[in-house]
Amino acid sequence: MSLPAPAGLTPDELARARAARGFMPDDEGEALARAAAGADPALGPFLEVGSYCGKSACYLGPVAARAGTVLYSLDHHRGSEENQPGWEWHEPDLVDPEVGRIDTLPRFRRTIHDAGLEEVVVALVGPSPVVARHWATPLSLLFIDGGHGAEVARADHDGWTPNVAPGGLLVIHDVFTDPALGGQAPYDQIYRPAVESGRFTEIDACGSLRVLRRALQLAAGR
Ligand code: SAH
Ligand code: MG
């Protein structure tokens, strides 16, 4: 099964998303928007784990707006392990000097403001498992692009994937089947358990982005 063709973004929206700061290759961002355009908004809103500075929200937000729904964008805004000082993906200008830690929330807010998405993209600021604990709204699309440690990734799987509505989409970033290409946590702790449970089936892939659809009902015996 393949997804509908148009990316769901205007040329201006696409240019803005490409220019936004963050960690999303152009082709994977377009695949993300295309997946969102294929989600059924009647099933519920969109939610992403891992906002950073708002780049993926620039791909998902315009699609949510046109679908008449919203994107909840969750992050504690303190950065993942690999964003901390001394690590490969650290960006020193994002450190709050008084706190001495990364704070991506101001940059995120600015990105969403400049993109005209303040009515559509709703920030959830806090640790993913803490927000997940009391979350009960079914989602038409869940995008997991949060922490890449094994325990953090597993917590995202366990805490969030049950909220994907039957027929809804689970999109996972940074899935690498080959350890030489990247860390294994999203593959081992999110992708594989989702597929192996029988609840999700892969319907599209682009680079390290995987798009799964939740089964309408579990097969007998699961
Ligand atoms: N989607 C973004 C990139 C996200 S980077 C883009 O398109 O550019 C991963 C983000 O996950 C970081 O901003 C980090 O702060 C956040 N994160 C990591 N672990 C988290 C956790 N347990 N709870 C909330 N946010 C977390
Ligand atoms: Mg990522």
The ranges of the chain with pLDDT < 70 are 1-7, 218-222
Q: What is the pLDDT of residue 219?
A: 56
Q: What is the pLDDT of residue 109?
A: 98
CA distance 2 to 69: 23
Q: What is the pLDDT of residue 3?
A: 45
Q: What is the pLDDT of residue 61?
A: 98
Nearest CA owner, ligand 1 atom 18: 147
Which ligand approaches the C-alpha of residue 147 most closely?
1
Q: What is the pLDDT of residue 83?
A: 85
Burial of 114 (0-12, 13-18, 19+ CB in 10 A): middle
Other Cβ atoms within 10 Å of 187 Cβ, number: 20
> pLDDT (tens digit, 9 = 90+) per residue, 51-86?
999 999 999 999 999 999 999 999 999 998 888 888
Q: What is the pLDDT of residue 2?
A: 45
Q: Which amino acid is at 25?
A: P
Ligand 2 ion: residues within 5 Å (CB)? 23, 145, 173-174
CA distance 163 to 141: 9
> Has 148 been annotated as catalytic?
yes
Q: How far is the CA of 101 from the centre of ligand 1 (A)?
A: 14
